[in-house]
């Protein structure tokens, strides 16, 4: 029996020492992976659209594949962020495109997020062209955190919305959302109607 008392005593001593060490343990707060964002760099939209603006060199342009998409609807794909900005365009000279209905629709698309949004904040931005753009920021776990639209009220109406292709908490996406917001402001500030 004496042979077993020494190993049991050693196990008890090491167990107490380990328990003493764990009293100083402080749990680490939850964190998110570091996101390295590229420097801002822009390129001009090709001449095939009735509008022109500068967009990020880190976004690729593609035609909107939605079956009801209009001719000049496009997506700016941020593949590195698994995000896209969907841009829709309406020619107001077309009798089917009523400016009042388009404005109502833009506000309705933003307000659909009321149930999940903590807040919805709209800002009006005066553009260098003399026109204005409405920028709508949504906080909370919503599908689109940033939306915008602008019009010259006689010929052109342009609307855009930011979407992510993954289900992450918006807190973890915050640096990416802020980065893309800067790109959108650059787009709006360089927007020109071509005809």
pLDDT (0 to 100) of residue 18: 66
The reported pTM is 0.77
Task: Give CA–CA dist 123/56, Å, rounded.
Answer: 22
Q: What are the DSSP E strand ranges found in the chain?
A: 42-44, 51-52, 54-56, 60-63, 74-78, 83-91, 117-126, 132-140, 146-151, 156-164, 192-193
With a cut of 90, say whether residue 87 has pLDDT above it.
yes
21 or 161, higher pLDDT: 161
**Apex CA 109: angle with CA 83 and CA 67, to 5°?**
65
pLDDT (0 to 100) of residue 110: 73
DSSP 24: T
Question: What region does 126 belong to: left with phi over 0, alpha with psi -120 to 50, or beta?
Answer: beta
Question: Is CATH 3.10.350 the classification given to domain 42-193?
Answer: no
Task: Give CA–CA dist 15/156, Å, rounded.
Answer: 75
Task: Give CA–CA dist 144/160, Å, rounded.
Answer: 10
Go through the chain and tell me how many residues it has: 195
Task: Give CA–CA dist 161/145, Å, rounded.
Answer: 8
Domains of the chain by residue range: 42-193
8 A C-beta contact, residue 150 and residue 188: yes
The whole-chain average pLDDT of the chain stands at 84
> Among 6-20, 34-48, 65-79, 137-151, which stretch is predicted with the lowest mean pLDDT?
6-20
With a cut of 60, say whether residue 23 has pLDDT above it.
no
Return all residues near 97 (Cβ < 8 A) that are at least 6 apart: 90, 91, 157
CA 19 to chain centre: 46
pLDDT (0 to 100) of residue 85: 95
Q: What is the pLDDT of residues 126-139, one digit of tens each?
A: 999 899 999 988 87
> What is the pLDDT averaged over residues 17-42?
70
pLDDT (0 to 100) of residue 142: 74
2 or 131, higher pLDDT: 131
* Nearest in space to 89 (alpha carbons), one of 109, 106, 104, 111: 106
With a cut of 80, say whether residue 17 has pLDDT above it.
no
* Nearest in space to 45 (alpha carbons), one of 194, 179, 148: 194
């Amino acid at each position: 029996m004496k042979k077993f008392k020494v190993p049991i005593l050693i196990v008890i001593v090491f167990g107490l020492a380990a328990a003493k060490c764990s009293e100083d343990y402080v749990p680490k707060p939850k964190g998110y992976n570091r996101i390295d964002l590229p420097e801002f760099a822009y390129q001009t939209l090709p001449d095939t659209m009735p509008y022109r603006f500068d967009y990020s060199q880190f976004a690729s342009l593609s035609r909107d594949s939605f079956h009801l998409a209009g001719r000049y609807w496009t997506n700016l794909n941020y593949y590195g962020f698994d995000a896209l900005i969907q841009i829709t365009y309406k020619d107001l000279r077309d009798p089917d495109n009523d400016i009042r209905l388009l404005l109502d629709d833009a506000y309705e698309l933003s307000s659909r997020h009321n149930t999940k949004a903590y807040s919805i904040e709209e800002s009006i931005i005066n553009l260098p062209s003399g026109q204005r753009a409405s920028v709508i920021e949504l906080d909370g776990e919503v599908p689109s955190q940033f939306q915008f639209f602008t019009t010259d009220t006689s010929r052109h109406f342009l609307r855009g919305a930011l979407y992510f292709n993954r289900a992450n908490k918006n807190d973890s996406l915050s640096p990416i959302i802020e980065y893309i917001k800067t790109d959108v402001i650059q787009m709006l500030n360089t927007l020109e109607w071509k005809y």
